[in-house]
Structure 1
Amino acid sequence: MAYEVAAPKYVRLAQTIQSRIEDGTYPPGTRVPSENQLVQAFGMSRPTVVRALELLKRDGWLESRQGYGTIVRGRPEVVEQRGRRGREALERDESQIAGRLVEVAEVPVPVRVASALGLPKRAKVLMRRFLVEEDGEAVELVSSYFPAGLAEDTELASAETLAGGVRAHLEARKKIRFDHVTERVSARLPEADEAGLLGLPDGVPVLSVLVIACDASGQALQVSDVLLPADRQELEDTYRLG
């Protein structure tokens, strides 16, 4: 049975502030209203306001400048770069890539995923788990999670590989638009089933890239947990200093 779950207050407030950044109410380079002003304007508690601002800073919409306050940065830049895990997770054509779909099931939402999707801890979500292989060796395990309502009237629950990629499928079926992705990288020990699928011996950690795909309002549409064997990875980035 499908159901709709309202996003937490801080997420809704963050979405409202994002909309005001988008429509020019809060132009890039200007200060956002103070915490006191936001509390009064939206009738929300200070902790809710603080959490919303922290969410917007984390996702690149705002930044703190010492002695000046919280500044609007504008829409986070979409960096076009090969190898971005988020883009790959959204656009990978399961029917064309080496690997296999290992599981499609309705599962209790993991804690990290629940936070990103704005769902309560006991909510159920649809999970698609795909194992990517190269030359017969498992190199990546992608577990993608979708709110129940979003998965309705789609092929996401099918045990067959999905042609064309999740992003194209959802945009066509649900008339939505993916706008930007936030990636959070952490290291952890894999669960037993994850280690088995990746062929990892005991004690070998994985890099977890949590991919949060959102629409223009900042609403998370899909969350993917991309697991990479840590002993086979080296992260490198080059960037300019402003």
Structure 2
Amino acid sequence: MTSLYRDTADRLLTELESGAWREGAMIPSEAHLQETFGISRTTVRRALALLERDGHIERRQGLGSFYRSRKIGKSISSRVDFHTEGRTHGQMPSTRALSFTARNATISERAIFGPEARGGVVELRRLRLLNGQPTVFQISVLCHVGIQDLKRSDFENTSLYALLSSRFELVVSDVDETLEAVNADGDVAQVMGIEPGIAIFNTHRIARDAAGRVVELSNNFVRADRYYFSFSGSIEEFGR
């Protein structure tokens, strides 16, 4: 039979993970929780201790308890790289380069990259992990003289844009990105270690340099249980 404090911890965790709470939000006081759940102060404290042990909350002496989300909140307009973002949220990021292959450009890639794509493009597939868990599957298409001479290992545990800047002086200054919810197909699910059909985020990105030249096309699959996206703006942007 489930003990009362475990049941309380489960109920509180369900509330915290409902989507209404964000990383770092303060949890109501023990007295408030005691009144809300109709339980003793001892039961509340044992429930909070369990949540703290499992890494769901952080208790700060004299300040209270704070929610530690397992998801990373990312602003749609943010351009912080994956590794910096992961470390900022107290997680261990890593990147595996799965493949790096030269191929002919598709019709749409020729239209986007221009004449330079006549000589072909390279496709880079990478898996981004947080604490060793697959989080983002990224397919990038690149088109620039000399890129095909790089090795797959050059893309391990590094920022793609930092690498392009240091090797080829390609500096990304503008990004167009779309975001949609999709169901993971079999191939994507296998790479990301999830069941086919699970809902995930899918973003399509076109990155350009200051001169307007396309630097990268990318297709990114993001686990919805590891990330959430947010947007903020003035009321004028939404209309009335």
| Matched residue, 2:81 | 88
Structure 1 residue 149 and structure 2 residue 142: aligned? Answer: no
Q: What TM-score do the two structures reach when normalised by structure 1?
A: 0.51
Q: Which amino acid aligns with 2:211?
A: S
% identity of equivalent residues: 18
For residue 108 of structure 1, report the CA deviation from its aligned partner.
4.7
For residue 114 of structure 1, report the CA deviation from its aligned partner.
5.4
Q: What aligned pairs does 1:90-105 form with structure 2 within 5 A after superposition?
A: 97-105=93-101
| Matched residue, 1:211 | 205
> What do you get for the CA RMSD once the two structures are aligned?
3.7
Q: Highest Rg: 1 or 2? A: 2
Q: What TM-score do the two structures reach when normalised by structure 2?
A: 0.52
Q: For the Cα contact (< 8 Å) 2:125–2:139, is it kept in 1?
A: yes
| Matched residue, 1:234 | 228
In structure 2, stretches of 5+ residues that fail to align are: 1-73, 87-91
Residue in structure 2 matching 1:128, options 124, 130, 133: 124
Q: Secondary structure at the match of 1:235?
A: strand
Q: Deviations over 1:184-215 (max 9, x none)?
A: 11233434322101112121233211121101
Q: For the Cα contact (< 8 Å) 1:111–1:121, is it kept in 2?
A: no
For residue 139 of structure 1, report the CA deviation from its aligned partner.
1.0
Change in 2 beyond 3 A, CA 1:139/1:177: closer
Question: Hey, what's the Cα distance between the residues in 2 that align with 1:83 and 1:228?
Answer: 13
Q: Which amino acid aligns with 1:219?
A: R
Q: Secondary structure at the match of 2:97?
A: strand
Question: Hey, what's the Cα distance between the residues in 2 that align with 1:210 and 1:183?
Answer: 6
Q: Deviations over 1:139-173 (max 9, x none)?
A: 111111101536155x3x43344565222322232
Q: Which amino acid aligns with 1:143?
A: I
Which is further off, 208-217 or 144-153? 144-153
| Matched residue, 1:139 | 135
Q: Secondary structure at the match of 1:101?
A: strand
| Matched residue, 1:169 | 163
Question: Hey, what's the Cα distance between the residues in 2 that align with 1:111 and 1:191?
Answer: 24
